[in-house]
A and B are shown apart, each in its own frame.
Chain A
Amino acid sequence: DARVTQTPRHKVTEMGQEVTMRCQPILGHNTVFWYRQTMMQGLELLAYFRNRAPLDDSGMPKDRFSAEMPDATLATLKIQPSEPRDSAVYFCASGLNLINTEAFFGQGTRLTVV
Chain B
Amino acid sequence: AQSVTQLGSHVSVSEGALVLLRCNYSSSVPPYLFWYVQYPNQGLQLLLKYTTGATLVKGINGFEAEFKKSETSFHLTKPSAHMSDAAEYFCAVSEASGTYKYIFGTGTRLKVLA
The stretch of A12-20, A60-68, A79-87, A97-105 in contact with B is A97-105
From residue A100, how far is it (CB to closest CB) to chain B in Å? 4
Nearest chain B residue, comparing its CB with the CB of A9: B41
Please judge, given known A-B contacts A99-B94, A100-B51, whether A45 and B102 are in contact too, CB under 8 Å.
Answer: yes
Query: Contact flags (1/0) for A31-50 with B, using CB distance below 8 Å?
Result: 00101000000110100100
Q: Is A55 an interface residue (CB 8 A)?
A: yes
How many B residues face the partner with a CB closer than 8 A?
Answer: 23
Q: Is A7 an interface residue (CB 8 A)?
A: no
- The one of B32, B42, B44, B103 in contact with A99, judged by C-beta atoms closer than 8 angstroms, is B32
Residues in B with CB closer than 8 Å to A103 are 44, 46, 102
Q: How many A-B residue pairs have CB under 8 A?
A: 52
Residues in B with CB closer than 8 Å to A55 are 99
Query: Contact flags (1/0) for B68-101 with A, using CB distance below 8 Å?
Result: 0000000000000000000000100010100111
Q: Is A25 an interface residue (CB 8 A)?
A: no
Q: Is A107 an interface residue (CB 8 A)?
A: yes
Residues in B with CB closer than 8 Å to A56 are 99, 101
- Residue pairs across A and B with Cβ atoms less than 8 A apart, 11 shown, are A42-B105, A42-B106, A43-B106, A45-B101, A45-B103, A48-B102, A93-B44, A98-B100, A99-B96, A105-B45, A107-B41
4 A-B pairs with the lowest CB-CB distances in the bound complex, closest first: A105-B43, A42-B106, A100-B51, A43-B104
Residue ranges of B at the interface with A (Cβ–Cβ < 8 Å):
32, 34, 36, 41-46, 49, 51, 90, 94, 96, 99-107
Residue ranges of A at the interface with B (Cβ–Cβ < 8 Å):
4, 33, 35, 42-43, 45, 48, 55-56, 91, 93, 98-100, 102-103, 105-108
